[in-house]
Amino acid sequence: MKKIVCILVAMYALQGVAQDTQQAVTNESDLKYRVSFPAIILGNIGKGGERTNTQHIEFHVKRELDPKNIIGIKFATWRLFQPMGIQWWDGLKDKIDSETEFYPGYLRETGIGVSYQRMLWKGLFASVEVLPQYQTYLDLDSNKIANGFKLYTSYHIGYHIAFGKKKRIFIEPQIHGQNWMFDTNTPDGFKRLDNKWKSYFLFEPNLYIGIKL
């Protein structure tokens, strides 16, 4: 009789451990997705129709394949008022203040792309993003001039920092560079300015804010 009771108690205890383990696995599985956005888009709030308002909107949805590999989908749209290839050492801020390199209008770029993020050591990561973009060239009154296409890529080095009991909220300070190609059907007034500068931009600091789901 005592053996039967011991067996029943042991089976009950093992069942409890199994349930706890299953719950832990389920909770871990529930946090495989990430939704994030760059903090830079918050800087456009309140700028309204200002000439330098990039109207930047960007969101990422990512899926952890395993603790090291993360893939994602990126949606982004922004409005450029001058060439993107003006580097920091070219006097980027001075060009904005003087308005000497402003387009004769705006360039709206919108696209949906893919990303791959590789965790290197603890929170340190590297990632690459590829974003095909549909372009719309506009005059200063927001009338369409032409349409084009651009293939935009970016390369990131950053650090993942998670907060909270379940580490669901996170930030990712990072620095990245980007380049672009196949910039098609560019109107002459825009092309003249683009040709003065690079087809890449280096050392852009950024901060992404996100949540795990």
Same domain, 22 and 93: no
- Local structure of 41: helix, strand or coil: helix
Pull the structure tokens for residue 213.
Answer: 């789901």
Same domain, 108 and 192: yes
Same domain, 51 and 10: no
Q: Which residues of the chain have pLDDT under 50?
A: 1-26, 28
Q: How many domains does the chain have?
A: 2
pLDDT of residue 21: 40
**Domain interval for residue 13:** 1-30
Cβ–Cβ < 8 Å for 180, 10: no
Q: Which of 211, 112, 206 is CA-nearest to residue 170? A: 211
Pull the structure tokens for residue 62.
Answer: 């990512």
Burial of 154 (0-12, 13-18, 19+ CB in 10 A): buried
Same domain, 51 and 152: yes
Residue located via tokens 């529930």: 30
Same domain, 22 and 89: no
* Residues 38-88 pLDDT 10s: 999 998 887 877 999 999 999 999 999 999 999 999 999 999 999 999 999
pLDDT of residue 43: 85
